[in-house]
Homo-oligomer: A and B are copies of this chain.
Amino acid sequence: MLEVFKKYITDKIALADAEWDLITSVCSIRKLRKHQYLLQEGDVWRYNAFVSEGCLRRYRVDAAGVEHIIQFSVENWWAGDRESLTNLTPSKYNIDAIEDSTIILIRKEDFEMLCKKLPSFNDFMHNILFRSFDAMQDRILAAISLTAGEKYKKLLETYPSITSRVPGHMIASYLGITPETLSRVRKQMAKK
């Protein structure tokens, strides 16, 4: 399963064998069954986590017990809670697997060591941070400016494959609409 991670890394930055060995030396692999937690609210998150297979969701549960999904992470993307990781505070989020998944974990200290020793790795991670920053801004814009149907259409444009992997009620949760509204929106769109 490190293969996926190696391809992901070496596609973007050039690494000597010894450098890649350094990375692998701090990687550990965790397999998750569908529905299994990677992180639960209240725990402190201490890793950087790369999804090499499967799909995770990060969500919060509000006072009424309703789940609100903040993020999906499919293969070749990162998961975890940066806020808990940075401050070593209990997490406000839950992360669990939507599909059977394989995760590569790198402990915080090891990750920082990699960033220090491998400048290109550091730059790369920095870049990813920026890009997810931009994506979050687009999501805020969508949330404050679009109707339910428009939000769904935009999501399909951005992540066309999402419908085949994520059940509708989770997409609805991510968009901030009810499953019923999503169902009706889909029906509307099908008519054309």
Chain A positions 126 through 163: 1 when the CB is less than 8 Å from some CB of chain B, otherwise 0: 01011001101101110111000000000000000000
Across the interface, do A143 and B144 meet the contact criterion of CB distance under 8 Å? yes
**Closest Cβ–Cβ distance, residue A121 to chain B (whole Å):** 15
Q: Which residues of B contact A143 (CB under 8 A)?
A: 140, 143-144, 176
Across the interface, do B83 and A134 meet the contact criterion of CB distance under 8 Å? yes
CA distance A130 to B129 in the complex (A): 9
Q: Which residues of B contact A86 (CB under 8 A)?
A: 127, 130
**Closest Cβ–Cβ distance, residue A16 to chain B (whole Å):** 24
Q: Which residues of B contact A129 (CB under 8 A)?
A: 129, 133
Across the interface, do B70 and A176 meet the contact criterion of CB distance under 8 Å? no
**Closest Cβ–Cβ distance, residue A126 to chain B (whole Å):** 9
Select the stretch in A2-10, A34-42, A60-68, A100-108 that faces chain B: A60-68
For the complex, is A184 an interface residue (Cβ under 8 Å from B)? no
> Lowest 4 CB-CB distances: which A-B pairs, in order?
A144-B176, A143-B143, A83-B134, A68-B145
| Chain A to chain B contacts (Cβ below 8 Å), 30 pairs | A60-B141, A62-B145, A66-B145, A68-B141, A68-B144, A68-B145, A70-B137, A70-B140, A82-B130, A82-B133, A83-B130, A83-B133, A83-B134, A83-B137, A86-B127, A86-B130, A129-B129, A129-B133, A133-B133, A136-B136, A136-B137, A136-B140, A139-B140, A140-B143, A143-B143, A143-B144, A143-B176, A144-B173, A144-B175, A145-B176
